[in-house]
A and B are shown apart, each in its own frame.
Chain A
């Protein structure tokens, strides 16, 4: 048991950090967007081999990549590309990937920008090349671009690339990793704000009422990170459900407290908080949300033998 990064893992995280440095602030022209998918970063991650970390190094390393990239305000499909795609039985697509679940008629996260979709359909996982599939963008305030199928895809023509349960497991790990990264940045931004912002003659971060809730948020972010990393390392379905349960269950707390302490600034698009908190909101309900994942925990621990 070693809870610190190895030198190799640290180098990997530093490399991702360096690669993402130019996107720590939003690119010109996108500062006041609700969300911005950054194709150049997605391409750089693919070109640098970072999205293959799960295949080349291990799923824990893929999770480290996903968390680190998710700390940036710009969006990629890092969770799906680095973690879910690594569990496919066939070839791994190079381009951005959307994870599609539930009713195909509904808006799906990243579908507007993806080249491929991994569709979780009952007990099957299907891969659809979206090159010739009509997708229409859907407006959303959530922190990702959304899209939907114009017509029902030809499921019979889609490639079977794995079983639904396994891919759903890795999609839950991806949710936990993306949430962990976004939570870290949202907290860091808010902590900086409460140190600078004065009210009634004092920095608002000096009030205990503020400190206690931010300390709780920090604890939550630490727990999210380690649960996500453990789930990736173990490859256990229950661990993935646990990581997603914890992450999705705590979004309400993070979104409320961090916006509360960012005050009026937090409701403007020029302030970066929404790039993280609204991304957390988008992740909150995916794959059944905390209730769905928690039910998986229960069934995995107490009903697995039944």
Chain B
């Protein structure tokens, strides 16, 4: 066990910070960052920013050389992710592309799919959305009803997705659809969002801009070549993708930054020495630090070639609790962050209402820990 960063890792972090200073516009912090990475402004910005990041060799360094990366250590992937998160995630939705969509295609895609999609992702010029949840299937993803019926050499897709972040401006959808009658008879398709029969309808909600959309599929024709993996065998692929997603966003890394903002305001208001605030904030910091270390456990496993593990679920609930405690603290002590206060705090509050639901609810994570770590028996 060794908690120190190597000299190379420290240098890499400095390099990433320097690149962000070079590439982000002067109004990034005031205009773009507060809008959140699902906003139209940030998505459009990511189409300019990610190619520049790619040119500097920073977008997919962790990918194998075969796919245009440098086979960099997964630790570098997380150092990059931490620094991006610190600045408000200027990669926009493309963080998904490089963290798990790309790796899924490397592992399960056909050579044609790899040729078609990995280059675009690597160059930072494509936006994806994930067609997972439906009105009747969220945490219980296997209950999804969108169907892909065989027709000729392809399929015809009918159904509805919901909560589909980024879909309004996405180029492609990583779509889950039922291809048989068994519960887990589900397949994955890579579908261009401009395919006739796809309609996206944004709707208002509590979370930040761009995250809440309905996507309707009406007689959408998808070629068989768009299917990833065998028909009806998507579950392993989904598990693989979700294991990346659950630790994909280093939420722990922004805790200190947001607390800095909150405490700066409280200090200006003469409340910086309030012992109740101190005791409360110290506890929140402790939870964020716990989340950081437990996420590093998962990164370390990946760096050593390990696959999905229960540690990702443990890391996830630790981060969820830290973020929730921070949200509660903001509401109790810095409530004007929702009105006239710092827009970055407001956006954190808005996003956090869904952070314990997306990518498998907090309760689902607990189920997986109960089985995977404690070996507790299933109920009848």
Measured CB to CB, the residues of A under 8 A from B are 1-6, 9, 60, 191, 194-195, 202-203, 205-208, 210-212, 214-216, 218-219, 222-223, 226-227, 229-230, 233-234, 239, 241-243, 245-246, 249, 290-291, 293-299, 301-303
Alpha-carbon distance between A6 and B300 when the two chains are bound, in angstroms: 13
Could you pull out 15 A-B pairs where Cβ atoms are within 8 angstroms?
A2-B1, A206-B376, A206-B377, A211-B374, A212-B366, A215-B367, A219-B314, A223-B293, A223-B294, A229-B3, A234-B3, A242-B289, A243-B286, A295-B278, A298-B282
Contact A294 B317 (CB under 8 A): no
**Which B residues are CB-close (under 8 A) to A208?**
367, 379
Known: A211-B367, A245-B286. A218 touches B374 (CB 8 A): yes
**Which B residues are CB-close (under 8 A) to A234?**
3
B272 → A minimal CB distance (Å): 7
A240 → B minimal CB distance (Å): 11
Report the nearest A residue to B293, measured CB to CB.
A226
**Which B residues are CB-close (under 8 A) to A2?**
1-2, 300
**Which B residues are CB-close (under 8 A) to A239?**
289
**Which A residues are CB-close (under 8 A) to B67?**
none
Q: Mark B209-228, 1 if CB is under 8 A from A, else 0.
A: 00000000000000000000
Alpha-carbon distance between A2 and B299 when the two chains are bound, in angstroms: 9
**Which B residues are CB-close (under 8 A) to A195?**
375-377
A58 → B minimal CB distance (Å): 10
B253 → A minimal CB distance (Å): 14
B188: interface (CB < 8 Å):
no
B156: interface (CB < 8 Å):
no
Q: A-side binding surface: helix, strand, loop or mixed?
A: helix
Report the nearest A residue to B365, measured CB to CB.
A215
Contact B3 A246 (CB under 8 A): no
A242 → B minimal CB distance (Å): 5
Q: Count contacts between A and B, CB distance < 8 Å.
A: 155
Interchain CB contact (< 8 A) of A219 among B5, B296, B317: B317
Contact B282 A1 (CB under 8 A): no
Alpha-carbon distance between A3 and B375 when the two chains are bound, in angstroms: 23
Contact B283 A294 (CB under 8 A): yes
What 6 A-B pairs have minimum CB-CB distances, sorted nearest first? Answer: A294-B282, A297-B282, A223-B290, A211-B370, A215-B369, A298-B278
Alpha-carbon distance between A203 and B378 when the two chains are bound, in angstroms: 9
Report the nearest B residue to A229, measured CB to CB.
B1
Interchain CB contact (< 8 A) of A215 among B294, B304, B366: B366
Known: A215-B373, A294-B278. A227 touches B293 (CB 8 A): yes
Contact B286 A227 (CB under 8 A): yes
B380: interface (CB < 8 Å):
yes
Contact A297 B300 (CB under 8 A): no
**Which B residues are CB-close (under 8 A) to A223?**
287, 290, 293-294, 318
B358 → A minimal CB distance (Å): 19
B297: interface (CB < 8 Å):
yes
Contact B278 A299 (CB under 8 A): yes
